Structure 1
Amino acid sequence: MKRLIDLSAAILLLILLSPVMLITVILVRIKLGKPVLFKQERPGLNGKPFILLKFRSMTDAKDGDGVLLSDYLRLTSFGVFLRKYSLDELPQLLNVLKGEISLVGPRPLLMEYLPLYSTEQAKRHRVKPGITGWAQVNGRNAITWEEKFKLDVWYAEHQSLRLDLRILLLTFMRIVRPAGISNANHATMPPFRGNDRHYDA
């Protein structure tokens, strides 16, 4: 049932939002250049890797040694706008069509985080990741990693159609009234370094 809903909703949303996506493609190309899409390997169900799609929201600015600047410094005002209204996430509807992610589930993070999770935190990978999730409607990036993982695991253990519908409704409300887009001095969150490490604000 969840897969059928994901598939039907993704097709419908791709049709309805195609004008928005086309305009976003043009604006990203003008303001940030090529490539328009950001592609990155992320862990899916049971940690199996897949290629996540997003609209690009950062420049390729580098320091004097040719090293990319931090995400926070490369994120433009246009990129902030895309993230504020979750427009950068729209290409992930294609990931939903391919069955790699769901509309609702824990957000797919970085592959490098996999060995850093505790046994409890790793339970978040027992379900498919999603475009939106329980943590996203309960603080998003304004909460700590520990809080985020607790919410993800709670979702994995209580997943239901009713809960998914509730999360989708709350997601729509968060898009209308955005909050928790980023952590202080970071484009999104500070890097996760493990459960016994200190985080810079």
Structure 2
Amino acid sequence: MLKRLFDIAASAFGLLLLAPVIAIVAWQVRRKLGSPLFFRQVRPGLNGRPFEMIKFRTMSDAADAAGNPLADSERMTSFGKFLRSSSLDELPELWNVLKGEMSLVGPRPLLMEYLPLYSPEQYRRHEVRPGVTGWAQVNGRNALSWDEKFKLDVWYVDNRSFWLDLKIIFLTIKTVVVRDGISADGDVTMPKFTGRKP
């Protein structure tokens, strides 16, 4: 209950305090990348229930001659890289937090297609609401392997507390400032999870 009350208060305050920043980022996304402003995608939430996550768009609509989207590395612009490295693209997720679909802290919401690929232990990451930031994000972010990331997610589920959440929020600010672990080696963000065990 304390965690949810903190989420409501912090996300509402954050949306109000950061409204000018959100407005400027929205204007720049519209100017540099066009419409739509937001990237919306259904992701698994608490207990794997789907919800629509919202972020600022960071990629162009570039496609090949057949109309198929180009690879992420070809659609990612310098402006998009800046949004991701600064985590400004994540600001709209405060709305997901206010609605109760996400928490400020928890395992990051991944793709619906990953659900049947998880081992029972990996699936435990869905025992809590997904977060805007999490234990894995402050311990390597996208530079981690999938196995390392899932172990950190499950560790958070087993050890979560209000004080740990505050620590993660503080470490997140530090991580964003130094822009650490933005992408995995050889990838713009993170390679797809295939369910293969190391």
Q: TM-score, normalised by structure 1?
A: 0.96
User: What stretches of structure 1 move > 2 A for 4+ residues in a row?
Assistant: none
User: Contact (CA 8 Å) 1:101, 1:130: kept in 2 or not?
Assistant: yes
Give the superposition deviation at 1:58: 0.1
Q: How far does residue 185 in structure 1 lie from its aligned partner after superposition?
A: 2.6
- Determine the structure 2 residue equivalent to 1:72: 73
User: Are positions 1:190 and 2:191 aligned together?
Assistant: yes
More helix by share: 2
Could you tell me how far 1:195 is from its partner in structure 2? 2.5
Matched letter for residue 158 of structure 1: N
For 1:184 and 1:173, how far apart are their aligned partners in 2? 21
Q: Secondary structure at the match of 1:157?
A: helix
Match of 1:15 in 2: 16
**How many residues align structurally?**
197
Measured after TM superposition, the shift of residue 175 of structure 1 is 1.4
Matches of 1:7 and 1:159 in 2, distance apart?
A: 18
Give identity over the alignment, percent: 60
Match of 2:64 in 1: 63
Is the deviation greater in 188-197 or in 67-76? 188-197
What is the CA RMSD across the aligned residues, in angstroms? 0.9
Q: Within 1, Cα distance between the matches of 2:103 and 2:72?
A: 26
Match of 1:165 in 2: 166
1:44 aligns with 2:73: no
Match in the other structure for 2:133 = 132
What are structure 2's unaligned runs of at least 5 residues?
none
1:19-58 Cα shifts (integer Å, max 9, x gaps): 1000000000000000001000000000000000000000
After TM superposition, the score normalised by the length of structure 2 is 0.98
Shift of 1:78: 0.2
